[in-house]
Structure 1
């Protein structure tokens, strides 16, 4: 067995692991990166990037169909499903290749291929071929899609986000289980590409939205396109011909069935921790298999073990995984001295059309009684009307003194408006501070300006 010694061992070469390696190396540590494959990061291979490629194909089809209000008469829109998926894979592979290109800069002797497990808190065994003695360890093993129990009898016919983008062409019909960000994005994209889609979720809202007004607006706007079945719990699945028949129970107590060419399980991605033998490292886990860790230092108890990215399930989005990797890698290199930087504001985006965002303090019905809430609709927003996209709602939250604490929004261009808002929340701006910034006319950003102005008017902070 090969023996290898290092200051920091990093398990996983995804977004968090790559960042951790960079941070540890910058801190002067000898860092070893372990990857079991296929590599290329969740984002580039099966997440952010291929899903956006599918969404952009759907946007092109939708825009072509909806040009008539502008006096543009388009011909018949025909979808070549095989060409759509070929482009998704081709560009996806380019993104993955760029990740591998970056990894090539790491010396070969500091990269180990295989599945790692703990022998003790600072010793790792990789596939029985390499023993690594480390000063500290960063666990950045990522996550994998879950398969709901009712789908297990037909598992060979079920797609996940790890397999969806490998299909040769678009299916005739698709059931999507899970109305979170990923399920919602894929459901709308597939609908716009001509697939008959039914989206099922036992919850009463979509996209993880907690603000009831934004949730109702989202369900109304997206439900006009998608066959949306909220409060629907899938109870069974059976193979029928080349497809799958699902049976689900409604919140009202009724039961429905549907037969689909394919089924997509988009019900979450639990962390990849089960094969690590954390018990051998002295790390106790809860009933869900998650170890206790400090969300700021990312350290597991007092052990020289740090948990970063999707592996800790704290905030499974790329920008957080990258930052967590950097924090974990730096702390692992400095151990036992560790730093606890303040957390970034919570921030989530759903790339539907219209887009959905939640920033900062999440809506809470009881606490909201003490908040100042500014609200504005896109229905009469000038630029949105010019774009023929005048639908949506912005809700901005503030403390009684006008300090901006969060927001939820659905509407056009929300990916850009939400970036403005998250900076304001992170910097602790008051409404008056936000308004003392230039807003060009006519832009969608003026809609956010109006919502913040509504806060300022109630706190005496507007001109």
Structure 2
């Protein structure tokens, strides 16, 4: 590939070298999409994968976590329906809960496996790839010379140094937590990002004694302080959180029954030393891209101090002018499934011969959702990004604490901020904690993608009574703060 393809060492020349047009390394969401798309333009292609041939989403991510959250939601609604005059005694069968999570998870994963099994056997290689100094891919006992390489090696849970040895079998990550045969008695969750927050609340609602730790006074990656504070207030009603805490040490010791127990030594927000003890410690401190041991530097690819590729084309994943594409979680850009899917499609299309007929997807509007309750969602530009840009903006808001349908449903805790551009009358972004956040932010994403102004969005129908009427209230607040307010004949909040 480029000048690297002309190199050949004695060691390499002693083996038979298989030459391909394209080699895809990694068979997760991004890699599979890249392989399928590239296969439409060349048959001389291979995909190399180390580990399971499904996806992180289906196997250890999106789907099993949502299955657990679904069970937790049923349990929570059953236990706390007394406000509606409905009283019930709830018994949670932990083994049945986890059995359903695993069986349904395996069902989702089987669809991916079935698709992969339909690919030609000679194009699939199971093994760990390494790129040598000649730019050749070594896998098992084979050498592969690829004209173009797509790296889609994904990511793995980040575990702080030494914690794996200290915690031993009491350590959980998102990669193994769904393999538990039964619900644990107690659990510490380290990290209040999307994974930590979702799992901490789900296990809590299923009767597990959970304590959530985070070093910052922040949850769900929120960057709007008002939304963050509201999220902490809403979530704190049924979730024990130690925010602004500093983990000093972790380990195991025998408890009063001589059973092995995990411990977490930490300083609380007031600087006092404390200790938590329990059955498991779930480490949710983020994920790191699986690229360090690949030998990517032998392709003249430079990485920064966080293993992120420099000179990255965020549309295709291409590195500079090299025929090297790094996509999905491997490029540590935006580690979300829909982004990985689009990047895989774009990279697989971009490697068309001479880049003709390439069908590259433009990057989507940033959109992230945390499936806790109430949900947390962000779309478009964040408030810090807007402030840094120098754009003149207004913030429209609505509280869901007294919003009609939200109160009817008993889910009335939340806040939405919409950031409007005063110059263009268009939406720059939004941040939210509240009911139906996944749907509200999708509507806003469509509006931003299609360059809709506030008036155009307000001219669309908002059915009554729905939680989505809260979106209209926030949009009206944006419009009222613009230079020329939108005049509406209906000025009542939420139409009631």
Category of TM-score, reference length = shorter chain: over 0.9
- Which residue, 295, 300, 318 being the options, matches 1:282? 300
Alignment of 1:180-259 (within 5 A): 180-241=193-254, 242-259=260-277
From the superposition, tell whether residues 221 and 336 of structure 1 become closer, same or farther in structure 2 (CA, over 3 Å). same
RMSD: 1.8
Deviates more, 1:84-93 or 1:2-11: 2-11
From the superposition, tell whether residues 118 and 54 of structure 1 become closer, same or farther in structure 2 (CA, over 3 Å). same
Deviates more, 1:191-200 or 1:118-127: 118-127
Deviations 1:235-285 (A, max 9, x none): 111211211111012343221111011000000110001221112222222
Q: 1:340, CA displacement in angstroms?
A: 6.5
From the superposition, tell whether residues 5 and 217 of structure 1 become closer, same or farther in structure 2 (CA, over 3 Å). same
Deviations 1:153-193 (A, max 9, x none): 22432001111011111111100000000000000000000
1:431 paired to 2:450: no
Deviations 1:169-222 (A, max 9, x none): 111110000000000000000000011111001111100000111100000111
1:388 paired to 2:410: yes
Q: How many residues align?
A: 461
Deviates more, 1:294-303 or 1:417-426: 294-303
| CA distance in 2 between partners of 1:343 and 1:372 (Å) | 26
Aligned to 2:144: 132
Larger radius of gyration: 2
Deviations 1:67-121 (A, max 9, x none): 22222222x1111111111110000111111101111221111111111111357
1:303 paired to 2:303: no
- Which residue, 368, 373, 388 being the options, matches 1:353? 373
Structure 1 runs not aligned, ≥5 long: none
1:317 paired to 2:336: yes
| CA distance in 2 between partners of 1:275 and 1:47 (Å) | 23
Aligned to 2:182: 169
TM value normalised by structure 2: 0.89
Deviations 1:45-66 (A, max 9, x none): 0000000000001001001012
Aligned to 2:24: 10
| 8 Å contact kept, 1:145–1:269 | yes
TM value normalised by structure 1: 0.95
Q: 1:328, CA displacement in angstroms?
A: 1.2
Structure 2 runs not aligned, ≥5 long: 1-14, 255-259, 489-496
| 8 Å contact kept, 1:154–1:244 | yes
Deviations 1:387-427 (A, max 9, x none): 11111011111111321111011111111111111111111
From the superposition, tell whether residues 406 and 169 of structure 1 become closer, same or farther in structure 2 (CA, over 3 Å). same
Deviates more, 1:90-99 or 1:330-339: 330-339
| CA distance in 2 between partners of 1:203 and 1:139 (Å) | 33
| 8 Å contact kept, 1:18–1:325 | yes
| 8 Å contact kept, 1:150–1:235 | no
SS at 2:235's partner residue? Answer: helix
Q: 1:150, CA displacement in angstroms?
A: 5.7
